[in-house]
A and B are shown apart, each in its own frame.
Chain A
Amino acid sequence: MAVLSVTNLSVVKRDRLLFKNVNFAVKQGSLLYVKGQNGAGKTSMLRVLAGLVAADCGEVYFTLQNIKDCREHYHQHLVYFGHKLGINLTLSAVENLQYWCKQHQVVISVDTIFYTLAQLNLVGLEDIPVSNLSAGQQRRVALARFWFKQDAKLWILDEPFTALDTQGIELLSKHITSFLRGGGAVVMTSHQALRIDYPTDELTLEYRI
């Protein structure tokens, strides 16, 4: 069944048409890789898919329901990772993640958070303000979300590999693959070549003037 499907999607930004009449469906266990130049509208596309921004034309459906009508249900099953990390720099990694979990109704123990942060190579950095961490480490903190939401059916990732080291890229790629094998659906953009060992659908956005 299609987890996410899109009909006749058109988005205008700053009076410029980014894309027009885009149609696609992302099935369970499939990965959609959105490609395109800078300014082609990849980020705008992902933000529309996530329901952060309304499309100018066309509809987005989550499990065949329009996301306008099932916003809460949709967001319960979605994990979105954007350009902005959603991490407050004054709070510590653990506080940030605890807050996020409460917000998203994810019940999780502090031990699990510590364990996941250790997996992400952040041992000893759990309790200090995130502003003291490097850019890559901050991204790892934000990425920890993908380990928490168990009932997620869809992941949307916008340039997740930026600022990660090779070990981090490998860790995330593996995690994405195992999510896909478990029947999850993923939509992502990336400037690096994908190092994911999994069949990939591609959607290329053209840059329009």
Chain B
Amino acid sequence: MAALMAILKRDLALAYRQRAELMQPMLFFILVISLFPLAVGPEPKTLQLIGPGVIWVAAILSSLLGLERLFRDDFQDGSLEQLMLSSTSLPAAALIKVVAHWLTSILPLIILSPLLALFLHLSEPMYWALLKTLLLGTPLLSLIGAIAVGLTVGLNRGGVLLALLLLPVFIPLLIFATSAVESASMQLQYSAQLAIIGAMFLFSLALAPFAIAYALRVSQT
């Protein structure tokens, strides 16, 4: 347990020291979203219509950008090797690293989301629905994404490949999340969508750590 806390503390400290690098996906997120009003026109009705989809697509893309950081440095400098040679359980360590990554690179995006909701003229119920889907859905992005990062970490040029592998896998999440916000815009219930996203999250929470650990071991070959 102390070993896992040490990982969390170290990763948070590292994120703080490399905060300039962490800012990049965040800026990307804001930039992509501000492109849309410029591209489709500032008509509030149109923006409201495409808003949830745009925010979710931008969130997926910018989380992909930051995802590579998850294991890259540790793999290259050999910290991962030393971690595997300690008595700490690798799936647990991987899960902790994903948590640290989510806290440092995804949570800021969610904190930024009210601003973006303003940009895209989302109504208040839509905003709350968006926030809930982001809170439930983005951990899923990190967990599944970490499997692919674990597999490609040894390749040194995983960037585009990572997107190629992960985007199709994220489609159901995108569908359920945006439809929840859409339901909210029509004052309808959206607990069903949230429940499905929650189920997918719990399922991946149970299995992904083992897949990540396996992926990291494959990368050591």
Contact = CB atoms under 8 A, between A and B. Distances in A.
B2 A102 contact: yes
B220 A53 contact: yes
Contacts of B192: none
B45 interface: no
Contacts of A104: 82, 85-87
Interface string A82-93: 111111111100
Contacts of A76: 87
Contacts of A105: 3, 86-87
A13 B88 CA distance: 28
Given A13-B221, A90-B17, A103-B82, 14 more contacts: A47-B220, A51-B85, A52-B220, A72-B87, A75-B87, A83-B78, A84-B78, A85-B78, A86-B79, A90-B18, A102-B2, A102-B3, A104-B85, A105-B87
Contacts of B78: 82-87
Contacts of B3: 102-103, 105
Contact of B6 (A52, A75, A87, A102): A102
Interface in A72-115: 72, 75-76, 78, 80, 82-91, 95, 99-100, 102-105
Interface in A99-136: 99-100, 102-105
A82 to B, nearest CB: 6
Contact of B77 (A53, A72, A84): A84
B6 A99 contact: yes
Interface in B82-138: 82-88
Contact of A53 (B7, B13, B14, B221): B221
Interface string A43-61: 0000100111100000000
B interface secondary structure, majority:
helix
Nearest to A129: B17
B202 to A, nearest CB: 28
Given A99-B10, A102-B3, A102-B6, A85 B77 contact: yes
A78 to B, nearest CB: 7
A76 B86 CA distance: 7
A75 B86 contact: yes
Nearest to A106: B86
A180 B189 CA distance: 71
A149 to B, nearest CB: 11
Nearest to A142: B78
Contacts of B88: 103
User: Could you say which of A85, A100, A102 has the most chain B C-beta atoms within 10 Å of its C-beta?
Assistant: A102
A75 B89 CA distance: 11
Given A99-B6, A102-B2, A105-B3, A78 B85 contact: yes
B77 A52 contact: no
Given A53-B221, A99-B10, A80 B85 contact: yes
Interface string B50-84: 00000000000000000000000110111101111
A86 B18 contact: no
Contacts of B84: 52
A86 B220 CA distance: 14
A102 B4 CA distance: 9
Contacts of B79: 86-88
A99 B11 CA distance: 11
